[in-house]
Amino acid sequence: MGSLDSLLNQQRVVCRLHAISKKRVLELAAQHIAEVEESLEVGQVYAGLLERERLGSTALGTGVAVPHCRVEGLDKPLGCLITLASPIDYDAPDGGAVDLLFVLLVPPEAAQEHLDLLAEVAGRFSDAAYCEALRKASSAAGLLQSAVTAKAA
């Protein structure tokens, strides 16, 4: 599962973010990504994530969501891993709150890669032990370490 690991770096990991709603967490995620990725604009990322959510919730269940969209001007896929300080309502299929998010942004022309990465993310985050290791992290460095070293089944 090396390709998923390559989407993350220390700057795109946020541990225990404070957010009270789905819209707010998407806004904060967009702000964070745009701060570390100079080629992206907050409004562009936020609008793309909101537009995708309007099609249907990107929550997978068991406290996990994978907001994703295609973004003009992006030359390769990138990810941002976020844990929340408190779970939020995310219109999840199981009715549960979300506290673990993996934001995935891909170039517009990367349709198949987008699908492949979504499948990889869903597979990794379907492992309860993997998710628990992420939830236990108390710092961004610890979260990144857990994300790339914990073994999904």
List the catalytic residues.
Answer: 68
The pTM is what? 0.95
Reported in sequence order, the residue ranges of the chain that DSSP labels E, i.e. its strands, are 13-17, 59-61, 64-65, 68-70, 78-88, 98-106
Nearest-angstrom CA–CA distance, 123 and 125: 6
In sequence order, the β-bridge partners of residue 104 are 68, 79
- Enumerate residues 6+ apart whose C-beta is below 8 A from 4: 79, 117, 120, 121, 124
Q: Which residues of the chain have pLDDT under 50?
A: 1-2, 153
- The pLDDT of residue 151 is 59
Which homologous superfamily is 2-147 in?
Mannitol-specific EII; Chain A (3.40.930.10)
In sequence order, the β-bridge partners of residue 101 are 65, 82
- The pLDDT of residue 149 is 85
Contact 71, 106 (CB under 8 A): yes
Q: Is 148 helix (H, G, I), strand (E, B) or coil?
A: helix
54, 77, 83, 123 from 87: Cα distances, Å: 21, 27, 9, 21
- The pLDDT of residue 5 is 78
* Residues present in the chain in total: 153
